[in-house]
Amino acid sequence: MAEQELIKIVCVSDNHGTMDPIKQLPSLFPDADYFLHCGDSREPVRRYGPYAQVRGNNDFYDVPDFRVLEIGSHRIFMTHGTRLVYIGSYEYLAAAAKQRDCDIALFGHTHIYCDTAVDGVRCLNPGSIWHNRDGSDPSFMIIELEGDDVRVFRRSFP
């Protein structure tokens, strides 16, 4: 059997203008294939590096409200989550992802790390790289895709 390619994604959200982590992560993870930002940057993150981003409820510049990314064998629905997620309830998010034939949904908004499956969709929130509402350290997420396999790692920002 042929070896499958490993794809590494660094995912952040909700920095609310705190740019140091956003600027530092690309040099801390030079082996990453993708850098994704799930909104509430308060700045056009694209000026600070290789991040694909979506608009959060505190962002007022021209970026999309959601994206569908085809990465490896996965389709990823990326959104901030406003009006789609409520703490502990991800059914609307999963339905929006399934409508777009996605098996992974990345979101932010709650400032709380999440890795759960709902109706066949892996719902992932990196938490806030600035301030988590559950009292935990600021966090981001490393996602590794290898064929159909999805591995997720929570990381705290130093």
Residue 1 lies in a domain: no
**Euclidean distance between CA atoms 50 and 34, whole angstroms:** 8
- Tens digits of residue pLDDT in 37-54: 999 998 877 777 899 999
Q: pLDDT above 70 covers what percent of the chain? A: 97
What residue numbers bound the domain in which 67 lies?
Answer: 6-156
The answer to whether residue 66 sits within a structural domain is yes
Position of tokens 């909700």?
14
Nearest to 50 by CA among 11, 5, 102, 105: 11
Q: pLDDT value at position 44? A: 79
Is 69 part of a structural domain of the chain? yes
- Residue 24 placed within a domain: yes
Given the DSSP bridges, would you call strands 34-37 and 149-156 parallel, antiparallel or unpaired?
unpaired
Supply the pLDDT for residue 55: 94
Count of domains forming the chain: 1
CATH code (residue 10): 3.60.21.10
- pTM of the model as a whole: 0.94
> 141 in a domain, yes or no?
yes
b/e string for 8-33 if b means 16 or more Cβ within 10 A?
Answer: ebbbbbbbbebeebbeebeeebeebb
Place of tokens 């510049």: 61
In the numeric block, the tokens 């999963």 are attached to: 94
| Tens-place pLDDT, residues 106-117 | 999 999 999 999
What's the pLDDT band for 83 if we cut at 50, 70, 90?
confident
Name the least confident of 1-10, 92-101, 131-140.
1-10
Q: What is the DSSP string of 51-94?
A: EEE---TT--SS--SEEEEEETTEEEEEE--TTT-BTTB-HHHH
In a domain, 116, yes or no: yes
Confidence of residue 151 (pLDDT cuts 50, 70, 90): very high
Q: Answer whether residue 87 is part of any domain.
A: yes
Task: Quote the longest CA-to-CA distance of the chain.
Answer: 48
Residue 85 placed within a domain: yes
Which residue is listed with tokens 């996965």? 74
